[in-house]
Structure 1
Amino acid sequence: MKLYIDGEWLPGAAEQPVLDRWSGEQVGTVAVGTAEHAVLAVDAAERAMRRGLPVPERARILGAAARLVARRAGEFARLVTAETGKPITAARGEVDRAVQTLTWAAEETRRTAGEAVPLGAIESGAGTLAMTVPEARGIAAAITPFNFPVNLVLHKIAPALAAGCAVVLKPSEKAVLAAGLLVEVFAEAGLPAGWLNLVTGPPAEVVDAWLADPRVAVVTFTGSTRIGWELKARSPRKLHVLELGSNTAMVVTAAADVERAAADAVTAALAGSGQACVSLQRLYVAREVAGRLTAALGAAFTSVRHGDPHDPETVVGPLITPQATTALKAAIDAAVAKGARLLAGGEVVNGVLTPTLLTDVDPDGPLVCEEAFGPLLSVLPVDDLDAAIDAVNRSSMALNTAVYTRDLGEAMRFAERAQAGTVLVNMPPSYRADHMPYAGVKDSGQGTEGVRYAIEELQHHKLVVLKP
């Protein structure tokens, strides 16, 4: 795959092979871009924005792209699995969501509007007509992770184009081929040159060039907490939309449907091999039902299929790199050495970390306080709901959280007091619909995603005042 700048596929300074994460076979190559390529991409985006792209044309292109992704869904899913090791069933689900993201963006493009401002309500505004007019903030630099290499890329591209922002895209070096296929789709859908530019290569060259370029108005980033805040610190005058990490928590009270909570917890912890910022990591459970819940979880974790991600029955595949597997295995071993009890998994079989369930974990240890990003769940008994809420809120990260209870009062108390961008009741904390507002608080980020909300972030409202 080459670089894509100003409507043309260009060679990079070098090429690197792309290997299947499971088999090790080469599945493609990717060009290595440089800072010079990054600047060329901004040049192209600047020219595109000067030419403009009318709202009806933006909507038409996004709708056409949705249909093309749906038509090529199998190809996208196979690329995602090959590059990242994401189980094929999860990859197919991601592509289905990507079609929804594009469809929502096409619809929301036509709904962006300003509003009348009643300046005539005061004496100094008598005889005036005032309104706000939405305008694109400018060129958007989109920097995306490996774990959702189709849908999270589209959560950057689609709202930006809908808002009228040209895009310079840097996907994760661990997941580039799917991004290239998306660029092909937009070209086929009729997106004019310069509106979407793809530059792969070392972040120290590509991203640094965009941070230093005053023509780049927006940085929209999904990835680690550390890197996200570093990007903001290094370019404070730009607008930043940051969707960062978390150590997602769920609470099960004594009034919960325990079996339902257990089934949802398994999915929330293990889907996509646990490599999502909303993957369940901390489960706080009332002591009186902890035994039932732990038994149900242990049986489920032991029976979950793990191994070859190309197998449709596989739930847990390899982590993104062998180094990630080694690091998480070492953290599990360290926790067990300090007294944690291993109820399931904790082994590496054919390069795959088996679904891991722990209890008696140090509540101040790394498996609870840091983001694990793997198929791991810690069960932590608590005395009551207030203790659970306090434990949830002790984290410096707060994206999604959930409570399972059949007591309306408990549900309302949790919703009011839990610190999170999203609170779910009797739904897994890993839940996300692509048109809902999606945002973290504390160290989990700033700004809001979800198609309409992201469009609003990427536009400012110019005030126009008319007086005859």
Structure 2
Amino acid sequence: MTYESLQSRPIDAKAGVVETRRDLLTGEALGVVAVGGAAEAARAVDRAHTAFMRGLPADVRSQILSRAASLLEESADELATLIRREVGKPATAAATEVARAVTTTRYAAEEARRLPGERVPLEATAAGAGVLAVTVPEPRGVVAAITPFNFPVNLVMHKVAPALAAGCPVVLKPSEKAPLTSLRIAELLAEAGLPEGWLEVVHGHPEPIVDAWCDDDRVAVLTFTGSAKVGWSLKARSPRKIHILELGSTSAMYVSRDADLDLARRDAVQAGFAYAGQACISLQRLYVDDVIADEFLALLAPDVSGVRAGDPAAPEVVVGPLITDAAAERVSTWIGEARDRGATILAGGDREGPLVSPTLVLGAQADDKLMCEEVFGPVISAARVSGVDEAIERINDSRFGLNTSIYTRDLAASLRFAEQVRSGTVLVNMPPSFRADHMPYGGIGDSGQGREGVRYTIAEMVDMKLVLLNPGGAWEEKQ
């Protein structure tokens, strides 16, 4: 199909501002989208709030999400191709993303039928004897969702599907680098039966759109995936809203002297270079026990050199282009800065336009950007450590804390690591890039607050009303 009909609506007909979206590599036109601003953002909230006041029964919401999951699945090839062309994600990774989005939507369809609520045992106190107490989940209101370019289908569904399951309409601002996938998702949800106002997509420069939503009291929840700087600024601007913030990371892995080195090598390559490292849980910092460091890195370097980079349409390509030439230039500059301060490039380190070769660096300083800032590119920085205690200390020397891994056969060491590492998730003999779409997912520090994972997101989007019922009508307060 063509995408010329996909418009973020409504756009002021008199303004008529449109933008042509192009293939990231070839520059070929993919379609035209309308560009909105503060006025469009406000009108989107008008329609979403009207939808919220009308309401939509849980059973209906579940059926719509179930049909939407089937439509996403039927459109998988189309969506994967659009992801590849719009943001340069390799074909295999794009197909995997769409499959995950289908699963995410199906989870939401199921959770819409079992929203959390419970009986409170009020009779545990003398004053509450004879009183029935239950919590009733109620949707908070309109959800404003701001999504990034790197997972333009699944991360959209991680915000939209739980909100709809909870009974909250959504106003969505997709990344200006990837609006077409969001607009196609909106079409599929409408085809699934979602009424008008329940999903409003506004494309354009983020500042006026998001500012309008921060200032609008009808927006009850703001869910954002992106940089720490932007995330915390949104929270500061709208402190009375509920915020779900999925921010940055410098995800770390520790390989102990008793680790399965073949497993650790394989997982390090996958975690560091899938989609050119453009995920917040991509492996960035690799700490290796001194005893096995030389052996492990001698094996890992050729593995890194063997990772295919190039045209994302080729099925064997793992590392495609970064999202912009400027992003590639930044990553290349950070590699050069670390090298100038004494680090050794064990593999890669080259750049051609938006392509940065898979890179393995050894000996970057703790205050080099490769170690302390989010790279968001295909670079792993390795360092030698004397054991698990030093690894924990080095890993915790970060303002981020999202996903962290340890590779070891020592149960006691893994438990100590899990207890002492400051991180939203600790994985044992699994890569830090692992995420299942129904697990609680989120970080601490500058990695954010709140949790995604369908059931956990829904819990953030509903209020728990407490209802007390005195069946006999003759309750008297007991002193």
TM interval, short-chain normalised = over 0.9
Q: After TM superposition, list the pairs within 5 Å mapping 1:397-416 onto structure 2.
A: 397-416=400-419
TM-score relative to the length of structure 1 = 0.98
Give the secondary-structure state (helix, strand or coil) at the position aligned to 1:380: strand
For 2:15 and 2:159, how far apart are their aligned partners in 1? 24
Give the secondary-structure state (helix, strand or coil) at the position aligned to 1:363: coil
Give the secondary-structure state (helix, strand or coil) at the position aligned to 2:195: coil
Q: After TM superposition, list the pairs within 5 Å mapping 1:56-455 onto structure 2.
A: 56-349=59-352, 351-455=354-458
Contact in 2 for aligned 1:399/1:441 (Cα 8 Å): yes
- Which residue of 1 is the match for residue 468 of structure 2? 465
Percent identity of the aligned residues?
Answer: 54
Contact in 1 for aligned 2:325/2:353 (Cα 8 Å): no
For 1:11 and 1:264, how far apart are their aligned partners in 2? 53
**In the TM superposition, what whole-angstrom CA distance separates every residue of 1:387-413 from its partner, at most 9, and x where no partner exists?**
000000011000000000011111111
- Which residue of 2 is the match for residue 16 of structure 1? 19
For 1:189 and 1:257, how far apart are their aligned partners in 2? 47
Contact in 1 for aligned 2:277/2:378 (Cα 8 Å): yes
For 1:102 and 1:11, how far apart are their aligned partners in 2? 37
The one-letter amino acid paired with 1:335 is A
TM-score relative to the length of structure 2 = 0.95
The one-letter amino acid paired with 1:359 is L
Please state how far the C-alpha of 1:350 moved relative to its aligned partner: 5.2
For 1:311 and 1:201, how far apart are their aligned partners in 2? 31
Please state how far the C-alpha of 1:454 moved relative to its aligned partner: 0.4
Give the secondary-structure state (helix, strand or coil) at the position aligned to 1:264: helix
For 2:143 and 2:13, how far apart are their aligned partners in 1? 21
Please state how far the C-alpha of 1:123 moved relative to its aligned partner: 3.2
For 1:235 and 1:351, how far apart are their aligned partners in 2? 36
Which is worse superposed, 13-22 or 242-251?
Answer: 13-22
Structure 2: tracts of 5 or more residues without a match = 1-5, 474-479
Please state how far the C-alpha of 1:13 moved relative to its aligned partner: 4.4
Contact in 1 for aligned 2:323/2:354 (Cα 8 Å): no
Give the secondary-structure state (helix, strand or coil) at the position aligned to 1:127: coil
Please state how far the C-alpha of 1:143 moved relative to its aligned partner: 0.3
Contact in 2 for aligned 1:249/1:392 (Cα 8 Å): yes
Give the secondary-structure state (helix, strand or coil) at the position aligned to 1:357: strand
For 1:68 and 1:241, how far apart are their aligned partners in 2? 28
Contact in 2 for aligned 1:269/1:375 (Cα 8 Å): yes
For 2:99 and 2:200, how far apart are their aligned partners in 1? 24
Contact in 1 for aligned 2:346/2:360 (Cα 8 Å): yes
Contact in 2 for aligned 1:11/1:31 (Cα 8 Å): no
Structure 1: tracts of 5 or more residues without a match = none
Give the secondary-structure state (helix, strand or coil) at the position aligned to 1:295: helix
Q: Aligned to 2:9, which of 4, 7, 25?
A: 4
The one-letter amino acid paired with 1:279 is S
Contact in 2 for aligned 1:12/1:33 (Cα 8 Å): no
For 1:241 and 1:11, how far apart are their aligned partners in 2? 36
The one-letter amino acid paired with 2:24 is R
The one-letter amino acid paired with 2:276 is S
For 1:251 and 1:345, how far apart are their aligned partners in 2? 22
Change (3 A) 1:22 1:11: farther
Which is worse superposed, 13-22 or 426-435?
Answer: 13-22
The one-letter amino acid paired with 1:236 is P
The one-letter amino acid paired with 1:351 is P
Please state how far the C-alpha of 1:200 moved relative to its aligned partner: 0.7
**In the TM superposition, what whole-angstrom CA distance separates every residue of 1:62-86 from its partner, at most 9, and x where no partner exists?**
1100000000001101111111111
For 2:299 and 2:235, how far apart are their aligned partners in 1? 43
The one-letter amino acid paired with 1:3 is S
Please state how far the C-alpha of 1:2 moved relative to its aligned partner: 1.1
Contact in 2 for aligned 1:258/1:289 (Cα 8 Å): no
For 1:127 and 1:326, how far apart are their aligned partners in 2? 69
Root mean square deviation of aligned Cα: 1.3
Contact in 2 for aligned 1:12/1:32 (Cα 8 Å): no
For 1:239 and 1:302, how far apart are their aligned partners in 2? 45
Contact in 2 for aligned 1:2/1:11 (Cα 8 Å): no
How many pairs are equivalent?
466
For 1:220 and 1:134, how far apart are their aligned partners in 2? 19
**In the TM superposition, what whole-angstrom CA distance separates every residue of 1:200-223 from its partner, at most 9, and x where no partner exists?**
111121111000000000000000
**In the TM superposition, what whole-angstrom CA distance separates every residue of 1:90-119 from its partner, at most 9, and x where no partner exists?**
111100100000011111111113211222
Contact in 2 for aligned 1:3/1:9 (Cα 8 Å): no
Give the secondary-structure state (helix, strand or coil) at the position aligned to 1:4: coil
Give the secondary-structure state (helix, strand or coil) at the position aligned to 1:53: coil
Please state how far the C-alpha of 1:10 moved relative to its aligned partner: 7.8
- Which residue of 1 is the match for residue 38 of structure 2? 35
